[in-house]
Structure 1
């Protein structure tokens, strides 16, 4: 007799991105497919020094079981970190530490979603979020996005029509769109949350990776200006893109009753996030090294983003359209089909692999009505020379 798996697994499938990685073993391939930060950007010396201080000053606490809510010194440092980004009056008790922000999303799914519930996400959005919410039985509805993020009027119509359990947004340098929600739209979204009493989940793993001018303040920071919105807002943060994914340190800020239930569910899954990783992150933040680290990665990623945009314009011309990113890790491209050239990103991806370059087609990032002409390029892990060569190969693939 075959194993009888849970029915919930019928709602999800293996990540198209993870499957693509199986094709990347070809020697010499240039990959724009991953969503990773560049490991060369990690402050190895700073992290080593932080971990050594942990073992010298607090070995018992760092190597022992810990509180599910999180290691208190880290909660204090994260509260200070968020206060520095405009979240006034945030107390350590108002956040819990999670094993990456991915766990925060999973906890929201566990605590909020029943089979058949509706949730609204951006179209396109983070693929793992679609999979996570579907795993818990949600019907995932797509709200339209343009260069300034989600469109508030369309979002309100969907909220009124579907009465969703929650709305999930990546307002700043979205994955995969790269779009940043304008200040006016951020306030509109907060007003919608308060007016319709719907939970808005703000996922913010990229907000510190801006090029030049800083983006608008987070929804969490702005909620103080929109009466009644804070009680309908959850915020997911992460150190993965700015310090190290391997530490697996994220956090969730949410209304007290939601946070309490998330803690209960976290007890059932991992008891607590690694205390050693948390203590190391706390020591790193305490050291004051983060501003210099952020300044460095912003400079490097800004140069690579510009190089990719310039190369696309030079090599592919009117065959593509995109908005030059102002931060984050991604450039979202749409094939125009100009002069009869390819408009199917999936077909182009296969030819691109043969030419020695990889990217992710855009269709998996849509929960509904996928746009087959779209694709995501990451400029994070290739240097400028490889970006130029990779885009040249992409141009060759487009020409057939």
Structure 2
């Protein structure tokens, strides 16, 4: 007769196994300071200008419920089944129509639906970037994109950029010397700065890509959140076919919880993207795609965007008004025509990372600007998002920020 014994808790605890270390790639990638900050700002009394969060009270709950109900009634259990990797054909057609209406002729086959545009960046990093390849980025640039490229083993090189756009002379010099695979750019209402590249700057970027043989990754999730000024052409519409690959998202204009984004690409990339998507998650949620397609076909998205534009314009203006008394004398900030963000620079000698610690004691938060630079970050910049709160709450937040600045200065 055999007897099976169970190790005691002490014996189990005392065991020390040997396992391999984590990959060198993951160890080299910084955690997102923004995601880390969200955990610190979950207290309800905190007014957070840190996260780029759409306003939940503007979500079209009635329209979303109607679309999900319609899809489940018409499709039944098929709506809960596996689907194609490329995505729901009706949704892809709806996305393509929106591109075409903006002056960039697009077919449904040009679109791959992704689980948020963040997955699109990850897939493109897999398909386009080998370890050691040079990827050029704006300075500053979107933090989560920097993470994707770093995880792919890219060598990130910042291109000088300011409120006038990308320094195209510097871009040409870097392209000539480094032979980059890719330039990553958020051309309209950029995250983190809120600035937009002019039409002239976009043409120059497209021309540089053609001349030097690199691709442009045009990340464009904010373009429909315009509150003032005239629409600008996509870089893809100004470049040779295949020179630009684009990403977009419903997160900022419909609902981020759906996790629906897309990549617009040419046939040379399409097969590789499909393979990378299959390896990542097979396909994006069937029922969510079908509901989004129904929502677009019902004509509700434009009305939802119009509501958001009206509300966000007032919130932007409130932040603009509050910053004048909140930040120390000599500070500068921009006035974006759209999007979700304002970029501010405090006078020399200020460190916004240290200021954040004081601000949290006053129940207000922002993101220090240093996080958005691949190298040589300035210590005195900050990003503030204005979309989450109504104007009165924003002004209360800038009052708290003023108190934090005074405490830090004292």
Give the TM-score, by structure 2 length: 0.92
1:106-125 Cα offsets, whole Å, 9 max, x none, are 01111111111110111111
Structure 1: distance between partners of 2:43 and 2:308: 28
Structure 2: distance between partners of 1:99 and 1:26: 29
Residue-pair matches, total: 390
1:159 to 150, 165, 175: 175
In our comparison, the structure showing a higher alpha carbon Rg is 2
Partner of 1:255: 266
1:235 to 221, 242, 246: 246
Structure 1: distance between partners of 2:199 and 2:328: 31
Give the TM-score, by structure 1 length: 0.95
Structure 2: distance between partners of 1:207 and 1:76: 19
Equivalence map 1:309-348=2 (5 Å): 309-316=320-327, 318-337=329-348, 343-348=350-355
Structure 2: distance between partners of 1:319 and 1:396: 17
Deviation at 1:151, TM superposition (A): 2.0
Structure 2: distance between partners of 1:68 and 1:16: 32
Deviation at 1:378, TM superposition (A): 0.5
Equivalence map 1:63-212=2 (5 Å): 63-88=80-105, 90-212=106-228
Structure 2: distance between partners of 1:25 and 1:322: 27
2:309 is the alignment partner of 1:292:
no
2:381 to 374, 382, 385: 374
SS of 2:242 mapped into structure 1:
helix
Contact 2:134 2:157 in 1 (8 A): yes
Partner of 2:55: 38
Gaps of 5+ in 1: 224-228
Gaps of 5+ in 2: 1-17
2:18 is the alignment partner of 1:18:
no
1:48 to 62, 65, 71: 65
Structure 2 CA distance for partners of 1:160 and 1:184, relative to 1, 3 Å:
same
Contact 1:125 1:366 in 2 (8 A): yes
Contact 1:123 1:142 in 2 (8 A): yes
Calculate the aligned-residue CA RMSD, in Å.
Answer: 1.3
Worse-matched range after superposition: 171-180 or 149-158:
149-158
2:361 is the alignment partner of 1:354:
yes
